[in-house]
Chains A and B, each alone.
Chain A
Amino acid sequence: MAGCRVVDPASGTSRLANVVIEGQTIRSVGEESAGLRIECDGLVCGPGLVDLSTHLREPGREDAETIETGTRAAAAGGYTAVCALPTTDPVMDHAGIVEQVLRLAREAGHCEVVPVGAITRNLDGAELAEMGAMHAAGVRAFYDADHPILSAQVLRRAMIYAKTWDAIVINHAEDSALTRGAQMNEGPLSTRLGLQGAPREAEEIMIARDLLLAERVGARIHVPHVTTRRGVGLIAEAKARGARVTADVTPHHLVLDESVLEDYETRFKVRPPLRTPDDIAALRDGLQDGTIDAIASDHAPLPADDKDTEWDTAPAGSTGLETTLAVCLTELVDAEAEPDDRGAGTLSLLELLQLLSVGPAKARDITEHGQAIAAGRPANLVLFDPSRTWAVDATSMETRSRNSAFDGRSVRGHVIHTVLRGRFTMNDGRVV
């Protein structure tokens, strides 16, 4: 990889260099070498991206996505590892499904798939799933995806039990008694649009409760897709107390506020709902001060028919694997600033790559990804053109679904190559 700008958040450095890959690992950074030479002038070389929450849908909802199409989308987006959520049918709540998903992912070969097991059987919030058997099959984190565990007792038991392997427990923060029938963020706009609102306390109460439980039992907890100012504050306080907590935020919650709902466009229906500009400011502050560890795509592919309907009946979710890097680069990083400088942006390029790769890998104990770009490390890399602009077109993506909240948006930053263990999964703009 000749002449690229190596932006390495693990070491906090940025320099122009050649990256020499041999087999599955990086041999050196900086020297010339014999062999295949890829001209990378003008490209940024960063660690391969790691996604904390990806709905791959297979088995069960192959009309929305398959492991093949989902991991192709990941490669196209610059990801070398994605955490697959247990929203399959049957649910990924036992070792058999974990093994099936891992096998299909290996066969596809477009990116590493890290399975996330369910906490409870069939995501019903009642009976614990066989976490030990799943752990033996390769699961390191447990999450009932968008099904919040309402019973504090069940979640507490799960946390204590997960300590057996020091596994991470994740809970969708939503008190669903407060959000029954809710269609968007509660406030003046929900009232004007006539859509029932979800009060922000529904999220904040659950974050507070889950943090209390985790701190008490000494468990590792991850707060997914935080969306409110108060939620960020609760996580910051817990971190200050030394709690073993990590958190993520999605690109759509960082960029879009509820005002885009004016026309009832269902592609903006996501869960938790889009909030307000004040929340967005708090989320961005949380990225800057390290309260939030990662940006997660929350890639939730849905068939077109499901979304092409009235707002109330449309399911919530947006695709994200192929847009996250570009959307975040466009909206959060100053194009003129140096890689280690925020300039007028929310984040420096180094910080963004930290949040898209090193941070999420650490939050899941994924040791093969989000590593330093240095000799001897696994060659998991993304190379992108930070200045190339393109228009998001939901109809021409690798993912099988079309429900992108960013459809039609003009963005900057185009992935050219993705390298997984020394092998191209995306080469010259094409998924391999």
Chain B
Amino acid sequence: MRDLLSMEDLSAEQITRILDTAEEFKDLAVRPIKKVPVLRGRTVCNLFYEDSTRTRISFEVAEKRLSADVINFSAKGSSVSKGESLKDTALTLQAMGVDAIVIRHSAAGAPRRLTEWVDAKVLNAGDGRHQHPTQGLLDLFTIRERLGHLEGLRVAICGDVVHSRVARSLVQGLATMGCEVTLVGPPTLLPPGVESWPVQVSHDLDSVLDALDVCYLLRVQNERMAEQFFPSAREYARIWGMDIERLRRLPEHGIVMHPGPMNRGVEISADVADADQAVIVDQVTNGVAVRMSCLYLMLGGEQRSGEQR
């Protein structure tokens, strides 16, 4: 694996390999010494043009557990406002001999552009509304961990699909792994061209609930209301929000997921967020193992597994 830009680039075999490797790394987390020396001497830069403390910390923990040298570059608060700075920064990192760049950027395609300017491997940690592949992978990991397998599962993704890079990555990952996906939400929040996706579409959450293995809720941002994607948070919660009554209608083994941060009382009620069927905390925990797996396979894994053979 050279760069990790999009879930689209990954085959079912590659995804399985990433998840299997992540499982090994997850075992590590329960040991007293949580570090392995596999990326010793390698330098990874976390290049965050968009605020996301959660994702950045998850990557940083993953990198440090792999013994990599970590540089954090946050564009927030600096004078970075025009685009040239991405190229300038990229050339600086290139000159410093960084081995991998983990990039989060508000512009779709920015990681792809970055690969043209640097030799370092590039890992997309979220670009605009395009892709967030490690989030999709940690979601797949969490589902597989909880339900034992992926193929044939029925998954609903509910909410603001049109603005969600998480949804794009997850839909592709689920489709690649053989799941049946239904997108649920008001038509204003479903993307143009959704007809060409490998999914079903429904505007009625209640009609799909009782056949689901996974109900994945997307964050609905307040600004969508100002932009008139739907009339009010209350109306959204009533029609598309997951509350305890709807939770009861899920099959017993069914799980509820959310990429965080949650809007409690809008797409998810507080009691659902804290219910046993909600695996939202597991998603966060698994994020570290999955990111370790991706970085390991990108920066050293192939070579090392070759040595073992």
A residues whose Cβ falls under 8 Å from a Cβ of B: 183, 186-197, 199, 263-264, 305, 308-314
Given contacts A305-B84, A311-B113, contact A194 B192 (CB under 8 A): no
| Contact B109 A311, beta carbon cutoff 8 Å | yes
Residues of chain B lying within 8 A (CB to CB) of residue A186: 192-193
**Is B28 part of the contact surface with A, judged by Cβ < 8 Å?**
no
Closest B residue by C-beta to A187:
B193
Residues of chain A lying within 8 A (CB to CB) of residue B82: 309, 313
| Distance of A194 Cα from B106 Cα, bound (Å) | 11
Given contacts A187-B193, A188-B192, contact A194 B83 (CB under 8 A): no
How far does the Cβ of B135 sit from chain A's closest Cβ, in whole Å?
14
How far does the Cβ of B91 sit from chain A's closest Cβ, in whole Å?
11
Residues of chain B lying within 8 A (CB to CB) of residue A314: 83
| Distance of A313 Cα from B110 Cα, bound (Å) | 10
Q: Is the interface of A mostly helix, strand, loop or mixed?
A: loop
| Distance of A191 Cα from B194 Cα, bound (Å) | 8
| Contact B193 A194, beta carbon cutoff 8 Å | no
Residues of chain B lying within 8 A (CB to CB) of residue A192: 8, 168, 193
| Contact A264 B193, beta carbon cutoff 8 Å | no
Closest B residue by C-beta to A262:
B112
| Contact B130 A308, beta carbon cutoff 8 Å | no
1/0 per residue, CB under 8 A from A, across B173-200: the answer is 0000000000000000001111111000
How far does the Cβ of A408 sit from chain B's closest Cβ, in whole Å?
14
| Contact B191 A264, beta carbon cutoff 8 Å | no
How far does the Cβ of B284 sit from chain A's closest Cβ, in whole Å?
24
8 smallest CB-CB distances across A and B, nearest first, come from A194-B130, A188-B193, A309-B83, A264-B109, A313-B83, A194-B108, A310-B107, A312-B107
Residues of chain B lying within 8 A (CB to CB) of residue A187: 192-193
| Contact B191 A193, beta carbon cutoff 8 Å | no
**Is B105 part of the contact surface with A, judged by Cβ < 8 Å?**
yes
Residues of chain B lying within 8 A (CB to CB) of residue A313: 82-83, 107
Residues of chain B lying within 8 A (CB to CB) of residue A188: 192-193, 195-197
Closest B residue by C-beta to A305:
B84
Number of chain B residues close to chain A: CB under 8 A: 29
How far does the Cβ of B250 sit from chain A's closest Cβ, in whole Å?
28
Q: Point out the residue from B86, B87, B109 that lies within 8 Å of A193, measured CB to CB.
A: B109
| Contact A310 B192, beta carbon cutoff 8 Å | no
**Is B265 part of the contact surface with A, judged by Cβ < 8 Å?**
no
How far does the Cβ of A291 sit from chain B's closest Cβ, in whole Å?
27
Residues of chain B lying within 8 A (CB to CB) of residue A195: 108-109, 128, 130
Residues of chain A lying within 8 A (CB to CB) of residue B84: 305, 308-309
Given contacts A186-B192, A311-B113, A312-B108, contact A194 B87 (CB under 8 A): no
| Distance of A293 Cα from B130 Cα, bound (Å) | 39
How far does the Cβ of B249 sit from chain A's closest Cβ, in whole Å?
30
**Is B127 part of the contact surface with A, judged by Cβ < 8 Å?**
yes
| Distance of A190 Cα from B105 Cα, bound (Å) | 18
Closest B residue by C-beta to A191:
B191
Closest A residue by C-beta to B8:
A192
1/0 per residue, CB under 8 A from A, across B2-27: the answer is 00000010000000000000000000
Given contacts A194-B165, A308-B84, A314-B83, contact A189 B113 (CB under 8 A): no
Residues of chain A lying within 8 A (CB to CB) of residue B165: 194
Q: Point out the residue from A199, A264, A308 that lies within 8 Å of B112, measured CB to CB.
A: A264
Closest B residue by C-beta to A261:
B109
| Contact B112 A194, beta carbon cutoff 8 Å | no
How far does the Cβ of A202 sit from chain B's closest Cβ, in whole Å?
13
| Contact A312 B106, beta carbon cutoff 8 Å | yes
**Is B134 part of the contact surface with A, judged by Cβ < 8 Å?**
no
| Contact A191 B193, beta carbon cutoff 8 Å | yes
| Contact B131 A310, beta carbon cutoff 8 Å | no
How far does the Cβ of A7 sit from chain B's closest Cβ, in whole Å?
42
| Contact B86 A194, beta carbon cutoff 8 Å | no
Q: Point out the residue from B87, B128, B194 that lies within 8 Å of A312, measured CB to CB.
A: B128
**Is B224 part of the contact surface with A, judged by Cβ < 8 Å?**
no
Instruction: From B83, B87, B168, name the one whose CB has the most chain A CB atoms within 10 angstroms.
Output: B83
**Is B129 part of the contact surface with A, judged by Cβ < 8 Å?**
yes
Given contacts A191-B191, A264-B113, contact A311 B196 (CB under 8 A): no
Given contacts A264-B108, A308-B87, A309-B83, contact A194 B113 (CB under 8 A): no
Given contacts A308-B84, A309-B87, contact A194 B109 (CB under 8 A): yes
Residues of chain A lying within 8 A (CB to CB) of residue B86: 309-310
Residues of chain A lying within 8 A (CB to CB) of residue B191: 191
How far does the Cβ of A28 sit from chain B's closest Cβ, in whole Å?
56
| Distance of A239 Cα from B112 Cα, bound (Å) | 45
1/0 per residue, CB under 8 A from A, across B56-97: the answer is 000000000000000000000000001110110000000000
How far does the Cβ of B82 sit from chain A's closest Cβ, in whole Å?
7
| Contact B192 A311, beta carbon cutoff 8 Å | no
Residues of chain A lying within 8 A (CB to CB) of residue B108: 183, 193-195, 264, 311-312
Closest B residue by C-beta to A308:
B87
